[in-house]
C-alpha cells in the first residue's frame, strides 16, 4: 500500500483553485464580548457559515476533483459523524458521483437529513465514528472508492485552503485555536500557516471525554460529536507532532456555555465541536494575552440539542433557578407563594407537586418551582426573600 505523504504548500494552493466556486471564503469577525470575557482580543473564523455548515466541503471537493474516472465510476463511500458526510454528499452530487455515507446510530438528525437531501445514501452503524468507519471499509471492499474523513492527502490539502485564507485575513494575531478530531483540519491549517505565518502559535482543542491528541483515553460521549474521534490518523498525527504548540481540553459544560454565548451575544449558531475553540479561550486554557482567533469549524446542531444546551447553559449562568420548599396543602397556599414571587418581578416557568414517598405532614406538600432569573445575584436575592417570607427553600439548580 502506498504510504501517505503530507501535502505541500503547492498542493494546498492547487486545492484552492479546485474548491473555488463551491466552497466559500468565510469571514473573520471580531467579538468585543468574547474579548472582554477572555481578557484578550478575540477573532472568529466563521466556518459555520460555510456550504454544508462546516469546513469539510473544502476537503471533499478537492478529493473528488483529484480522483480518477475509474474511481468516480465505482461510486464513493465514507464514514462520518455528520459534517464530512454532508460535504461528500454535496461534492459527489456536483461531480455526478454516487455516494454512500455510514454514520453512527446516534448521529444528529439534522446531519442525517442534510446528507440525504444532497443525494447520498445514508446507512447507520455503530455507536461512534470509529465503528461507522469499519462498516464503510467493508462496503469499500465490495468495489466502492473509500474516502477517509481526515487520513487523506487530498482531503488535508483541501482543509488547508482555510489556512491560506487565514494567512491573508488575520492581522497581528498571536494564537490560532483549532478544534481537533481526527486532525485533518488542524493538519491542513498547520501546513499552510507554518509556511506563510510561522509566528502564529497553533493550539488544538479537544473534548475532555475524547482527547487522544491530549494523551487521554476516551471516557464517554460528548456534545462535540464532530471531534469525537478515538483513533487519530498516522498521517495527521505525524504532521501535527512538531507543528502544534499545545493541546487543551474542554468539558461539555464549558462547550455548552460557549454555544449559548455565541448564540446570544455574537448571533452565531455553532455546534459543539465548533464552539470548543471558544470554550478554551473563555476558560483561560490557552496561554498568552495577545490576540487569538478561534475556528468555528461547524454550525450543524440539532434544534433539540440546541434547546437542551441552551437550557443547561442558561441554568449555569443563573438564568434559571430551581428550588423546592414545603407549603400547606390547603387552598391558597400555593397562590400565596407564587404571589410573593411575582411581586419580585420573577416569572414562574413550572411548578411540580410532590406528595408521595416523602416524609410530610398530613396536610403538607412539597413543591418544586422553576423560575426565570437575570443572573446569579438575582437567584441569591430571591432565595433570601423566600427565607424572609418564611419558606425553607432548597436550591436544586
The residues carrying an active-site annotation are 56, 297
Cell of 86: 454532508
Cell (9 digits) for 113:
437529513
The Cα 224–Cα 274 span in angstroms is: 8
Helix (H) or strand (E) run with residue 85 in it: helix 83-95
- The backbone torsions φ and ψ at residue 180, rounded to the nearest 5 degrees and listed phi first, read -125, 125
Nearest residue to 209 via CA among 198, 194, 201, 219: 219
DSSP per position, 293-317: EEEE-B----HHHHHHHHHHHHHHT
Cβ neighbours around 60 below 10 Å, total:
37
In whole angstroms, give the CA distance from residue 323 to residue 389. 15
Determine the Cα–Cα distance for residues 273 and 223; give it in Å rounded to an integer.
Answer: 8
User: 309: Cβ–Cβ under 8 A, 6 or more apart, which residues?
Assistant: 223, 256, 259, 260, 272, 301
For the chain, helix (H) and strand (E) counts, in that order, are 15, 14
Residue 377: strand, helix, or coil: helix
Cell numbers standing for residue 195: 509556511
Give the SS3 label for residue 185.
helix
* Cell 477572555 found at: 38
DSSP string, 119-179: T-EEEE-SSSHHHHHHHHHHHHTTTPEE--SSS-HHHHHHHHHHHHHHHHH--S--EEEEE
Amino acid at each position: 500500500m502506498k504510504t501517505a505523504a503530507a501535502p505541500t504548500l503547492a498542493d494546498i494552493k492547487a486545492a484552492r483553485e479546485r474548491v473555488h466556486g463551491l466552497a466559500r471564503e468565510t469571514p473573520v469577525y471580531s467579538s468585543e464580548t468574547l474579548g472582554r470575557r477572555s481578557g484578550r482580543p478575540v477573532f472568529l473564523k466563521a466556518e459555520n457559515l460555510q456550504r454544508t455548515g462546516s469546513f469539510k466541503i473544502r476537503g471533499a471537493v478537492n478529493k473528488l476533483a483529484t480522483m480518477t474516472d475509474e474511481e468516480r465510476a465505482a461510486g464513493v463511500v465514507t464514514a462520518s459523524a455528520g459534517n464530512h458526510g454532508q460535504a461528500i454528499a454535496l461534492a459527489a452530487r456536483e461531480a455526478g458521483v454516487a455516494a454512500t455515507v455510514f454514520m453512527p446510530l446516534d448521529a444528529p438528525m439534522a446531519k442525517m437529513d442534510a446528507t440525504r437531501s444532497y443525494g447520498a445514501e445514508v446507512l447507520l452503524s455503530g455507536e461512534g465514528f470509529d465503528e461507522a468507519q469499519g462498516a464503510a471499509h467493508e462496503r469499500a471492499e465490495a468495489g466502492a472508492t473509500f474516502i477517509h474523513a481526515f487520513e487523506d492527502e487530498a482531503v488535508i490539502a483541501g482543509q488547508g485552503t482555510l489556512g491560506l485564507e487565514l494567512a491573508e485575513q488575520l492581522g497581528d494575531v498571536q494564537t490560532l485555536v483549532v478544534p481537533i478530531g481526527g486532525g485533518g483540519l488542524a493538519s491542513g491549517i498547520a501546513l499552510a500557516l507554518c509556511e506563510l505565518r510561522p509566528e502564529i502559535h497553533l493550539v488544538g482543542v479537544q473534548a475532555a471525554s475524547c482527547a487522544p491528541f491530549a494523551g487521554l483515553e476516551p471516557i464517554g460521549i460528548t456534545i462535540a460529536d464532530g471531534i469525537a474521534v478515538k483513533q487519530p490518523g498516522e498521517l495527521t498525527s505525524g504532521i501535527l507532532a512538531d507543528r502544534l504548540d499545545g493541546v487543551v481540553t474542554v468539558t461539555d459544560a464549558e462547550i455548552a456555555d460557549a454555544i449559548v454565548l455565541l448564540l446570544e451575544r455574537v448571533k452565531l449558531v455553532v455546534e459543539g465541536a465548533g464552539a470548543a475553540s471558544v470554550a478554551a479561550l473563555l476558560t483561560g486554557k490557552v496561554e498568552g494575552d495577545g490576540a487569538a482567533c478561534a475556528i468555528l469549524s461547524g454550525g450543524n446542531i440539532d434544534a433539540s440539542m440546541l434547546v437542551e444546551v441552551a437550557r443547561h447553559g442558561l441554568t449555569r449562568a443563573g438564568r434559571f433557578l430551581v428550588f423546592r420548599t414545603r407549603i400547606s396543602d390547603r387552598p391558597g397556599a400555593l397562590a400565596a407563594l407564587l404571589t410573593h414571587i411575582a411581586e419580585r418581578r420573577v416569572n414562574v416557568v413550572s411548578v411540580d407537586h410532590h406528595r408521595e414517598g416523602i416524609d410530610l405532614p398530613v396536610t403538607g406538600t412539597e413543591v418544586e418551582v422553576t423560575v426565570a432569573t437575570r443572573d446569579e445575584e438575582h437567584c441569591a436575592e430571591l432565595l433570601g426573600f423566600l427565607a424572609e417570607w418564611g419558606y425553607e427553600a432548597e436550591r436544586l439548580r
